[in-house]
Amino acid sequence: MEASFGVSSAAAANAVNSPALSPPSLPFIRSEARPISWRVDKSRKAGKITTKAVAAQAENPASAASKPGHEVLLFEALREGLEEEMERDPRVCIFGEDVGHYGGSYKVSKGLADKYGDLRVLDTPIAENSFTGMAVGAAMTGLRPVVEGMNMGFLLLAFNQISDNCGMLHYTSGGQFTIPTVIRGPGGVGRQLGAEHSQRLESYFQSIPGIQMVACSTPYNAKGLMKAAIRSENPVVLFEHVLLYNLKERIPDEEYVVSLEEAEMVRPGEHVTILTYSRMRYHVMQAAKTLVNKGYDPEVIDIRSLKPFDLYTIGNSIKKTHKVLIVEECMRTGGIGASLTAAINENFNDYLDAPIVCLSSQDVPTPYAGTLEEWTVVQPGQIVTAVEQLCR
């Protein structure tokens, strides 16, 4: 295997009414300024964020034009990554429901079927187990398939193919086969999409031996992780959050790749280490503004790599702050936070001045009612309270 898979140095269909339309109407939000790693960290700035359904102010066109790079939404960044890799490597292909001329339920593959043909961008029947199994077979024979789950919850129908085939075939074949497959799609708690379309499944896939897993949170790392996942010889599950597809950011014009095993330092600080990923990154950053006004200096890390964890970055932060808060949208019982808590206690217990605090979603199916849905997910006010209690 190319990577170590332990801990070491991730409803749309009827939301779009026409192929000609853009993705479902979601709030436009911008990612906050932060250092970003592309093998080597580079300091870059982006616009101001809003984490509720409030539109960000449009950037002055004159100032935007003067900055390097180009501005994209997260779903467009994913498409750029896909298109660049399909152009670079003729073995890259896409399987999934409506990924062809319809362009995907969130338009991540829009226009790719016209450019590369129906055999490289293959519309499949509504049978996740069948087309995921077909992708595994394609990978075994030398192709590099990208499987789109219209919703990550639907990929539970392909759990056998992902676990027994994707995860195990390299091992059970004695290394004769590699499975360079990317499994990606929207997940997380949406806006009143109901329980089946608002599942938090990261920990389900984290438990599979042989699988790498990453979660994108910005257009920059979405594109970079997509490209890295396609190039990997390992099967990679790429988690995208349904509410982040319309997040906007300026990304470089030149090609770049983001490491599949590195966390991202979002905000350096001294008082407490806050570990988070995906949509919760923005709830944490909203809370961080309040915490700074109250005199606290939180360090925020987007763990990004859900398997394996980047314990080098996490450990260095803990050795500095001695306090840890984990904020996730995954469920409390058996979630990513539970695995991360165990890893930190095992490796850095001597550096902790207080017990690890983990804020997770409620262990209930996601309600349809908007108010109840919001109550199941960690909110910025809870993060502020948790930090205040940790730092007493």
> CA distances (Å), 145 to each of 235, 236, 261, in order?
10, 11, 21
Among candidate residues 32, 148, 197, 328, the one labeled active-site is 197
Q: How far is CA 127 from the centre of its chain?
A: 24
Q: Are strands 29-30 and 92-96 parallel, antiparallel or unpaired?
A: unpaired
Q: Are strands 324-331 and 272-276 parallel, antiparallel or unpaired?
A: parallel
Among candidate residues 76, 80, 85, 128, the one labeled active-site is 128
User: For the residues of 103-139, what is the DSSP string, one character each?
Assistant: --TTSTTTTHHHHH-TTTEEE--S-HHHHHHHHHHHH
Torsion angle of the four alpha carbons 263, 268, 274, 280, in this order, in degrees rounded to the nearest 10: -70
Q: Are strands 298-302 and 272-276 parallel, antiparallel or unpaired?
A: parallel
> Which residue from 127, 139, 64, 60 is spatially nearest to 94, judged by alpha carbons?
139
Known catalytic membership, residue 328: no
Residue 10 C-beta-side C-alpha neighbours within 13 Å: 33
Mark residue 197 as left, alpha or beta (left: phi above 0; alpha: psi -120 to 50; beta: remaining): alpha
C-beta of residue 40 within 8 angstroms of C-beta of residue 256:
no
Known catalytic membership, residue 261: no
Residues classed as catalytic = 128, 197
